[in-house]
Amino acid sequence: MKRVMWGFVALVAVAALVWVSAPAVSQPKVVKIGDLGSKVGVFEGYGKYQTWGIQMAVEELNAKGGVLGHKIEVVSEDDETKPAPAVRKAEKLILQDDVKLLVGAVSSGATLAVMDVTKKHKTIHWNSVSCAEFMRTTKFHKYYFSNQPDSRMQANGLAKYILDKMGKKVYIFYTDYAMGQSDGRQFKTALEKLGGEVVGVAGAPLDTKDFSPWFGAINQSNPDVLFLAFAGTDSLRLMTQLHSFGMTKKYKLAGIDCFLLQQDLPSIAEPMEGFVQLNHFSPYNPDANMQAYNARFKKKFGTDANIAAGSYDAVLFWAAAVEKAKSFDSDKVAEAHEGMCVDNTHIGRQCIRKEDHQVIMDMHLYQVKSGKNVPIARIAGSDSIGEAMVGKDPVEGFTWEIKKK
């Protein structure tokens, strides 16, 4: 009996020794990044493409080993296209999920609110969709970066082309919230500075269903060009209604970046025919880098990339900055971002301006032809970016008043 007992004890001891000495299966190290975008509502399409751009960048980075030996995981939240939910979700991503990067939000109003959160918690924040001018002026902070052309950049690029090629008298019609107000202000300023004439301005609330009450004033002003600062489903409804009133044939039309996604154009090709839109991506742009990126995106998601290019690039910039800093520490990563260039963005080499953390990027003007955004002009980023205005009020001295000529 003693022999059996001692044998049993010996077996247990050996088993324990084997268990202790066996190499532990190491768990892969993980770093999380946050995707905050509109999943429903007016800007649903933009939020979807932002998420897809992030996912594609993360997949490509993880295939190469991740960042600093960490696998990247994406945590997505819906900003509901409103400031209050966006703030609540941003707090959750930062405090509960411990994300080291936040990309978003989609609407300018939501993004401006989220900037207070990322500043408070010292979180790297990339914007790839919103364009209100306050982001790199009065709301700017050291952890904020953007590769979305803001209202001033867009206005500088569009105004000159419109005056040179489309007409001198312009009516400005905008969506009456942060993005549209910003686009309208900056375009009016740029156009008048170049000698153009603004013959009328009007703003319609976000998610307007019937735009016809504004059409009488537009027709009465008789502009050469109707400049439109809308986005998402607002743009779709507006163009459909303008067309039904015969106004798409009567006036030349131009609009902001993000007015409509390429995917929307085939269904509204006739109303949009001839429309001039500024953008930094089109699947019909022959640029080799853009075509290679779009081919990879289309293979993965079954559709063209569109605005997803911005969020894709944002993740690449962040990853490069982390590798440069050799740390996830936000102060070190923010410093590493400043002035850095990345060669593998959707359009090749792009660089961040140190003073206001804006990517200096070339933009393109496209004209809709048979439901396709066809490139018609290239605008150098150095020509449109303008001076850095950190801390300065971009609306100081501005007036919506029409200057009579």
- Same domain? For 334 and 227 the reply is no
- Same domain? For 281 and 319 the reply is no
Q: Is 75 a domain residue?
A: yes
Distance set, CA 151 to CA 117, 302, 358, 397 (Å): 23, 31, 12, 17
Q: Is 46 a domain residue?
A: yes
Domain at 102, CATH number: 3.40.50.2300
The DSSP element (H or E) to which 18 belongs, if any, is helix 2-21
Q: Is 256 a domain residue?
A: yes
Q: Is 397 a domain residue?
A: no
Phi/psi for 301 (5° steps) reads -110, -5
Q: pLDDT (tens digit, 9 = 90+) per residue, 224-265?
A: 999 999 988 999 999 999 999 999 999 999 998 878 878 889
Query: How far is C-alpha 260 from the geometric centre of its chain's CA atoms?
Result: 13
User: In this predicted structure, which of 34-48, 227-241, 303-317 has the lowest mean pLDDT?
Assistant: 34-48
- Same domain? For 173 and 267 the reply is yes
Sorting pLDDT into bands at 50, 70 and 90, what band is 311?
A: very high
Q: pLDDT (tens digit, 9 = 90+) per residue, 129-164?
A: 988 888 999 999 999 999 998 899 889 889 999 999
Of the chain, the percentage scoring pLDDT greater than 90 comes to 72
- Same domain? For 157 and 278 the reply is yes
- Same domain? For 95 and 218 the reply is no
- Same domain? For 109 and 142 the reply is yes
Report the pLDDT value the prediction gives residue 390, as an integer from 0 to 100.
94
Q: What is the pTM for the complete model shown?
A: 0.88
Distance set, CA 108 to CA 177, 180, 182, 231 (Å): 8, 9, 9, 11
Report the pLDDT value the prediction gives residue 39, as an integer from 0 to 100.
87
Q: Is 390 a domain residue?
A: no
Distance from C-alpha of 37 to C-alpha of 30, rounded to nearest angstrom? 22
Q: Is 20 a domain residue?
A: no
Q: pLDDT (tens digit, 9 = 90+) per residue, 156-215?
A: 889 999 999 999 999 999 999 888 999 999 999 999 999 999 999 999 999 999 999 999
Q: How many residues does the chain have?
A: 405
- Same domain? For 276 and 341 the reply is no
Q: Are 338 and 324 in contact (CB under 8 A)?
A: no
Q: Which of 243-247, 285-289, 304-308, 382-386 has the highest mean pLDDT?
A: 243-247
Q: Is the pLDDT of residue 223 over 90?
A: yes
- Describe the crossing of helices 108-120 and 83-95 by its angle, rounded to 10 degrees: 30
Q: Is the pLDDT of residue 11 over 80?
A: no
Sorting pLDDT into bands at 50, 70 and 90, what band is 26?
A: low
Q: Is the pLDDT of residue 13 over 60?
A: no
Distance from C-alpha of 312 to C-alpha of 143, rounded to nearest angstrom? 18
Token couple for 266: 């085939």
Domains contained in the chain, number: 2
- Same domain? For 34 and 142 the reply is yes
Distance from C-alpha of 154 to C-alpha of 202, rounded to nearest angstrom? 19
Report the pLDDT value the prediction gives residue 199, as an integer from 0 to 100.
98
Report the pLDDT value the prediction gives residue 178, as an integer from 0 to 100.
86
Q: Is 17 a domain residue?
A: no
DSSP state of 136: G
Distance from C-alpha of 244 to C-alpha of 27, rounded to nearest angstrom? 61
**Domain of residue 374, residue span:** 152-285+363-384
Among candidate residues 404, 32, 389, the one with its CA nearest the CA of residue 199: 404
Of the chain, the percentage scoring pLDDT greater than 70 comes to 93
Q: What is the mean pLDDT of residues 298-322?
A: 95
Residue predicted with more confidence, 18 or 54: 54
Q: pLDDT (tens digit, 9 = 90+) per residue, 74-101?
A: 999 999 999 999 999 999 999 999 999 9
- Same domain? For 66 and 159 the reply is no
Q: Are 304 and 292 in contact (CB under 8 A)?
A: no
Sorting pLDDT into bands at 50, 70 and 90, what band is 307?
A: confident
Q: Is 392 a domain residue?
A: no
- Same domain? For 129 and 232 the reply is no
Distance set, CA 16 to CA 7, 12, 13, 77, 369 (Å): 14, 6, 5, 46, 74
Mean pLDDT of the chain: 91
- Same domain? For 159 and 179 the reply is yes
Distance from C-alpha of 139 to C-alpha of 34, rounded to nearest angstrom? 21
- Same domain? For 349 and 326 the reply is yes
The DSSP element (H or E) to which 116 belongs, if any, is helix 108-120
Q: What is the three-class DSSP state of 169?
A: strand
